[in-house]
Amino acid sequence: MDTSTKPNLRTLAYVIGVGIGDGNLSNPNKRATRLRISCDTKYQELIRKIQGSIREILPNNKVSIVNRNKNCIDISCYSNMWEGWLGWSAGGGPKLDQKVRVPSWIMKKEEFIIPCLRGLFETDGSVYFDRGYLMAMFVTTIPELAEDVLNMTAKIMISAKMYEIEKKPPSHTRYNIRVSKNVSDFVNLIGIQKR
């Protein structure tokens, strides 16, 4: 991907991380692809942040909030840029089947890795205490994505380990990437704010 023509690359890297984590693509009207990012309503600050980030990269497009139920909303935006930016297609099936990965241009520079990791951890990650120690964990069923997250943490000099948790069919193997050393430094560096 030629990143020199892409607007607001740090913001785009963040939105890509969020989209990979809790987003899906569809093309219901056969004219434009829709990105929908699902979010728990208890995370009002995160909802505003995601909505604002999408508006920043697509200032002329409508960004909608769709209530799914009392505990969940979808942040929704139509654009024919989504498939190219995200690297997967609306009609290609689940992200697992499409072997969704972090776009290569993000993997090359720390200035893009950091916001992408922020988006990934704010959607499919968690920060928690385990026996009094701060931990950060990212969880996915996509092995290629797990590898990318492990590589990205290494590129920003953060030590992480991957654990595979086998599930009985029809469930898929789960990949947990855990940061257990210098977690405060990691959380501060990537700026995780899940509120």
pLDDT tens, 90-119? 999 999 999 999 999 999 999 999 999 999
Together in a domain, 25 and 72: yes
Cα-atom radius of gyration of the chain, to the nearest Å?
Answer: 16
pLDDT beneath 70, residues of the chain: 1-7, 195
How far is 105 from 148, CA to CA, in rounded Å?
12
Peptide bond into 170 cis (omega under 30): yes
Name the domain count of the chain.
2
With respect to residue 119, please indicate whether it lies within any of the assigned structural domains: yes
CA distance 142 to 11: 24
pLDDT score recorded for residue 89: 94
Residues 78 and 15 in one domain: yes
**Same domain membership, residue 51 and residue 128:** no
- Could you tell me how far CA 27 lies from the centroid of its own chain? 20
Domain containing residue 153: 107-190
User: Is 99 part of any domain?
Assistant: no
What pLDDT sits at residue 195?
67
One domain for residues 133 and 60? no
Separation of alpha carbons 195 and 190, rounded Å: 15
E-only strand ranges, 28-179: 34-40, 63-69, 72-78, 125-130, 133-140, 161-165, 174-179
Are 15 and 78 found together in one domain?
A: yes
Place of tokens 């520079």: 109
| Residue written as token pair 């050393």 | 181
The phi-psi region of residue 13 (left if phi > 0; otherwise alpha if psi is between -120 and 50; otherwise beta) is: alpha
Question: What is the domain-level CATH number for residue 159?
Answer: 3.10.28.10
Interaxial angle between packed helices 9-22 and 44-57, expressed in degrees from 0 to 180 and rounded to the nearest 10: 130
